[in-house]
Amino acid sequence: MSKAYSLTGAVTFGLVMTFSSGLGQTFFISLFNEDLRHAFDLSHGQIGTLYFAGTLSSAIVIIWAGKLLDVLDIRLYTLGVCIGLATACMMMSLVSSPATLVFAFFLLRLFGQGLSGHTGITTASRSPRQHRGRVISLSGLGFSISEMVMPVTTVWLLTMWHWREVWRFFAGAEIIVVVLLSQLLLWRFSLANTTNPDKTEQNTNTHWSRHEVLKDRRFWLISPAIFAPSIISTGLFFHQQSLAQAKGFPMSVWASAIAAYSIAAVSTSLLAGLAVDRWSGSFVVRLLLLPFIAATIVAVVGAGQWLPFIYYGLMGMTFGIATPAVSALWVELYGSTHIAAIRSLVHAIMVFGTALGPVFFGTLLDNGYHWNFILLLSAAWMSTASLVLYVTPLQNQLNDQSGKQ
C-alpha cells in the first residue's frame, strides 16, 4: 500500500466524519426550533436555555470521551461515535417533553458537533508532517460541505415529511451510510495505524500530557486568540436577525450572503493547508484573526448591497485558516501521543465559550448597546489577542523542549 493511497483514505475518512458532524451543529438543529417550540409550548428564551444546558453538558463529557481516541482502536471508537449520533437523531424524533429534549440536545452536541468532527480532524492531525496541513484542510471541508448541503436538503424534506420523520431519516442515513463507509475506509486503508504517533516523533520525548499542557504558560497566552473566532461568530450568527436589521438589510438578503462564508472558508482552508506544509502551523496561525478583525470593521463602516457578502467572506477566511493551522499547531507544540486528549480539552473550552457568546451579546443588546459598539468591542478583543499571539514564542516542541516547565 503506497503512502499516497493511505493519505487519500485518511482525507476521505476525515471528510465523512466532519460532514456527519453537521447533524449536531447549531446551523442544522436550529432548522427545527420552531417545530420544537410549538410542540412543547416553549418561548425563544426557554428553548435557548435548554440548548445551553445540553451544550454545556456535552462540553463536560467530551473532556473524558475525546481522550479515549488516544487509547482505543479507531475502528471501535468510530463505530461508537456513529451509533451514538444515530441514537441522538432517533432520540430527537421521539422527544416528548422539555426534559427529553435537553437529553437529545446533549447527545447531538456530544456525538455530532463534538466527537464526529473530533475523530475526523484528530485522525488527520496524525498524518505525516509533510502532508499534515493538506490532509487537515481537505478533511475539514466536510464542515463547510455540510453547511451548504444539509440545510437545503432538510428544508426540502420538511416540505414532504413531519419533522420527526426527518430526524428518523437522518438516523437511518447515519447507520447505513456513515457507519458502513467509515468502517470500510478504516479497514481498506488500514487507518487504524494512524492512532499511533508518527515514527519520526516517537523518540523526541516531547509528547505532552493534557495536565502538562494546562500548566504551559503559552497555552493560556494564545487561548484568547484561538477561541475568539468561535465565541464571537456564535454570538453574531445567533443574533444575525438583529444585526441585519440594524444594518438595514432584509433577512433574506443577509442570510443568502452566508454562501460567501462557505466559499471563502473552503478556498482559504486549501491555501492554509498548503502554507502549513510549506512553513508550519505556528507560522500560519499568526494570521488567524486578521480577516475577522477586518470583517467587524467593515460591518461598522461599510455600506451598500455587497456589505453582507464582504462581511461573511472575511469571516469565512478566518475559519478557513483555523482548521489546518490550529490543528497542526497543537501537534507541533505538544506532540501527537496525547493529541486526542488535548483536542478534547480545547473543544470543551471552545464549546463553553460558544455557549456564553450569544448570552453576552444578547445582554449587551438588551442593555441598549448599539451593534457598532459590539462589533468594535469584538475587533478590539481580537486585535489584542492577535498581538499577544504574535509575540508569544511558538517553537516546535518536537525539536525544542525549552518551553516545557
Write phi, then psi, for 273 (nearest 5 degrees): -60, -45
Is the separation of the CB atoms in 150 and 28 below 8 Å? yes
Q: pTM score, two decimals?
A: 0.79
Euclidean distance between CA atoms 19 and 119, whole angstroms: 12
Q: Using alpha carbons, select from 72, 333, 326, 347 the residue that is nearest to residue 207.
A: 333
Distances in Å between the Cα of 35 and the Cα atoms of 50, 146, 236, 383 are 15, 22, 23, 40
% of the chain exceeding 90 in pLDDT: 51
The arithmetic mean of pLDDT across residues 295-306, rounded, is 93
Give helix 117-125 / helix 3-20 axis angle, nearest 10°.
Answer: 160
The arithmetic mean of pLDDT across residues 139-157, rounded, is 87
Q: Is the pLDDT of residue 401 over 60?
A: no
What domains are there in the chain, each with its CATH number?
A: 1-196 (1.20.1250.20), 200-398 (1.20.1250.20)
- Return the sign of the alpha-carbon dihedral for residues 15, 347, 179, 54: negative
Q: At CB < 8 A and 24+ separation, what contacts does 361-368 make?
A: 361/235, 361/236, 361/238, 361/239, 362/235, 362/238, 362/239, 365/239, 365/242
Q: Using alpha carbons, select from 285, 302, 311, 306 the residue that is nearest to residue 385.
A: 285
pLDDT band at 351 (very low <50, low <70, confident <90, very high): confident
Euclidean distance between CA atoms 130 and 279, whole angstroms: 10
Render pLDDT for 54-86 as a digit per residue (tens, 0 to 9).
Answer: 988 998 999 999 999 988 999 999 999 999 999
Render pLDDT for 250-267 as a digit per residue (tens, 0 to 9).
Answer: 877 887 788 888 899 989
Render pLDDT for 206-218 as a digit per residue (tens, 0 to 9).
Answer: 678 889 999 999 9
The arithmetic mean of pLDDT across residues 145-150, rounded, is 86
Q: Is the pLDDT of residue 361 over 50?
A: yes
